[in-house]
């Protein structure tokens, strides 16, 4: 039963609940107008203390397409956080005005803290370099819709695996499905943090096959899914390191010639340089479809957490 629950960490949902949400999202894709009145009278509050295009706007679009309304702020400076109000007081207040909340915050653990004080369901829309569980739902729906299955896939995760919260969430989740193999492609300095590896690999009942490597070209022909990520400028402590690492990987049409014909390229976006524009017209590039799936899966999540039949 998902009604009334928070979604803070990708592990908050069981595999069966993940399937439940994905299946509802697929029903919404098939007949979106059947759901256009489902949330009439309900309000989604969006509390974005950090910039966003897709997550905030797809949450808002999701609630509007369900017949509900939205309120919120898109930067900390336009809220009373700028006057020194604590996160806890902000959450307690906005929970008085909305039926469900989506929050993004630059500090790791902020969503877990907020969840202790909210009186309505709270969704983590990204907490620092930690987790981004609704991006994972988006990624899962994209994989299901394009590959037909979440099992027995060879998945390459490429780029900033250290600070990339979308990677941390996706890895923790995809290791729960059978037969997946992970190729973790990054410079040494941007490897997956040990705490994520421990949670994703060591504590799983299934034994998980993974390899860490630096050169994308070495494994490109093996991949079913290539998940590209941006080097997360905002999480670096010094500009020189960012400048040195930012263009570590650039996927272009020449490299795509070595990939399988049915490989898919995902990217949570925003993109900077890591995928050349020429790749966009390749039918294997599904990152803009992925952005659209994000809206449908958030519609499904809102319905489930509000307990709307």
Smallest gap, in angstroms, from Cβ of residue 219 to ligand CP? Answer: 24
Among 115, 135, 180, 229, binds ligand CP (CB under 6 A): 135
Smallest gap, in angstroms, from Cβ of residue 50 to ligand CP? Answer: 8
Q: Which stretch binds ligand CP (CB under 6 A): 10-18, 152-160, 176-184, 264-272?
A: 264-272
Note every long-range contact of 292-296, with CB atoms under 8 Å and residues 24 or more positions apart, other chains counting. Answer: 293/25, 293/29, 293/138, 293/141, 293/142, 293/145, 294/54, 294/55, 294/58, 294/134, 294/135, 294/137, 294/138, 295/58, 295/61, 295/62, 295/65, 296/25, 296/28, 296/29, 296/32, 296/62, 296/141
Q: What is the DSSP letter of 7?
A: B
Q: Which stretch binds ligand CP (CB under 6 A): 108-116, 170-178, 236-244, 262-270?
A: 262-270
Residue ranges in 49-108 that form contacts with ligand CP under rule CB under 6 A: 52-55
Residue ranges in 183-212 that form contacts with ligand CP under rule CB under 6 A: none
C-beta closer to ligand CP: residue 38 or 168: 168
β-pair type (154-158, 181-185): parallel
Among 24, 81, 265, 269, binds ligand CP (CB under 6 A): 269
Tokens 């020194």 map to which residue?
Answer: 84
Task: Check residue 148 and give left, alpha or beta (phi > 0: left; psi -120 to 50: alpha).
Answer: left
User: Which 3 state secondary structure label does DSSP give 11?
Assistant: helix
C-beta closer to ligand CP: residue 154 or 232: 232
Among 28, 226, 268, 295, binds ligand CP (CB under 6 A): 268
**Interatomic CA distance for residues 47 and 140, integer angstroms:** 24
Smallest gap, in angstroms, from Cβ of residue 8 to ligand CP? Answer: 16
> Could you give the angle at which helices 165-174 and 133-147 cross, rounded to 10 degrees?
60
Q: Which helix (H) or strand (E) holds 17?
A: helix 15-30
User: Which 3 state secondary structure label does DSSP give 27?
Assistant: helix
Q: Which stretch binds ligand CP (CB under 6 A): 151-159, 174-182, 244-252, 263-271?
A: 263-271
Smallest gap, in angstroms, from Cβ of residue 204 to ligand CP? Answer: 25
Smallest gap, in angstroms, from Cβ of residue 222 to ligand CP? Answer: 26
C-beta closer to ligand CP: residue 159 or 268: 268
Smallest gap, in angstroms, from Cβ of residue 248 to ligand CP? Answer: 20
Smallest gap, in angstroms, from Cβ of residue 209 to ligand CP? Answer: 27
Residue 259: count other Cβ atoms within 10 Å of its Cβ: 21
C-beta closer to ligand CP: residue 174 or 220: 174
Residues that bind ligand CP (CB under 6 A): 52-55, 126, 135, 268-270
């Amino acid at each position: 039963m998902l009604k009334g629950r928070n979604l803070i960490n990708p592990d908050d949902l069981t595999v069966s609940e993940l399937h439940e949400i994905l299946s509802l999202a697929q029903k919404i894709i098939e007949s979106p107008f059947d759901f256009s009145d489902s949330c009439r009278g309900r309000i989604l509050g969006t509390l974005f203390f950090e910039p966003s295009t897709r997550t905030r706007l797809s949450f808002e679009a999701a609630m509007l397409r369900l017949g509900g309304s939205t309120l919120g702020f898109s930067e900390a400076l336009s809220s009373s956080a700028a006057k020194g109000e604590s996160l806890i007081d902000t959450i307690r207040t906005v929970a008085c005005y909305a039926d469900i909340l989506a929050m993004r915050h630059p500090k790791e653990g902020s969503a877990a803290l907020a969840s202790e004080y909210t009186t309505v369901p709270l969704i983590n829309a990204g907490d620092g370099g930690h987790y981004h569980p609704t991006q994972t739902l988006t990624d899962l729906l994209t994989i299901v819709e394009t590959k037909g299955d979440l099992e027995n896939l060879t998945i390459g995760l490429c780029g900033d695996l250290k600070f990339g919260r979308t990677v941390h969430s996706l890895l923790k989740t995809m290791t729960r499905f059978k037969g997946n193999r992970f190729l973790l492609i990054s410079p040494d300095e941007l490897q997956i943090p040990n705490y994520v590896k421990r949670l994703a690999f060591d504590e799983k009942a299934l034994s998980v096959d993974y390899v860490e490597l630096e050169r994308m070209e070495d494994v490109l022909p093996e991949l079913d899914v290539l998940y590209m990520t941006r080097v997360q400028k905002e999480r670096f402590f010094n500009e020189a390191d960012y400048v040195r690492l930012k263009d570590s990987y650039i996927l272009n049409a020449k490299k795509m010639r070595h990939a399988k014909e049915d490989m898919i390229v995902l990217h949570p976006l925003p993109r900077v340089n890591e995928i050349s524009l020429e790749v966009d017209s390749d039918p294997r590039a599904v990152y803009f479809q992925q952005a659209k799936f994000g809206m449908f899966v958030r519609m499904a999540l809102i319905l489930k957490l509000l307990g709307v039949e």
